Amino acid sequence: MLEEILKKYPQHEDSLIEILLEYQNKKTKRFITEEEIAQISNYLGVTESKVCSVVSFYTFFSTEPRGKHIIQICKDVPCYVNGRGNVLKTLEQLLNIRIGETTKDEKFTLEYTSCLGNCDGAPAMRIDGKTFTNLNPNKVKAIISEYRGVN
């Protein structure tokens, strides 16, 4: 799959972030391995250490395997003052993991994120590419059972 994605992009350094984003999004475990870093650096003609520095700089990229769905809960002030704490507690209980961890069945990873730009619907979270707003414990339960059901 990586090769197919690479072919779509010009062999310039400035394609790097785009490639990493697209590839990681399509991978089940949402992470980038050393071999893949080598392959990308080879294609773009940049050093491996350069690719590594980009992977480690941006929060979106991971070198550790993660769950199929990434749940990101917003940790900034507008969400904090609108009951973000309850949402996090509900998620940790439902999934039986703490923030930063992945469920045993490798279905969910729970992470913090900076403001999602949805503070008018605080508290907010993002699952993969979708943002959910005006959360409360019941709403969170419904969303998680939907994701569980789908797969």
Whichever of 15 and 86 has its CB closer to another protein, that residue is 15
Binding track over 57-76 against ligand FES, x by CB under 6 A: -----------------x-x
| 16 lines the binding site for another protein (CB under 8 A) | yes
Number of residues near ligand FES (by CB under 6 A):
10
Which residues have C-beta within 8 Å of that of residue 8, sequence separation ≥ 6?
none
- Nearest to 127, CA basis, from 142, 109, 149, 141: 109
Q: Which of 83, 119, 141, 148 binds ligand FES (CB under 6 A)?
A: 119
Question: 33: which 2 tokens?
Answer: 């391995």
* Helix residue ranges, H only, 1-131: 2-8, 16-26, 34-44, 48-57, 77-80, 84-95
- Nearest to 151, CA basis, from 106, 117, 115: 106
Q: Which of 75, 107, 141, 148 binds another protein (CB under 8 A)?
A: 75
Q: Could you tell me if 131 and 95 are in contact, meaning their C-beta atoms sit under 8 angstroms apart?
A: no
φ, ψ dihedrals at 113, nearest 5°: -135, 160
| 101 lines the binding site for ligand FES (CB under 6 A) | no
Q: Which of 28, 114, 136, 145 binds another protein (CB under 8 A)?
A: 114
| 83 lines the binding site for ligand FES (CB under 6 A) | no
Binding-site ranges for another protein (CB under 8 A): 12-18, 20-21, 46, 50, 53-54, 57-61, 75-78, 80-82, 113-122, 126, 129-131
Q: Which residues bind ligand FES (CB under 6 A)?
A: 74, 76, 78-79, 115-116, 118-119, 122, 124
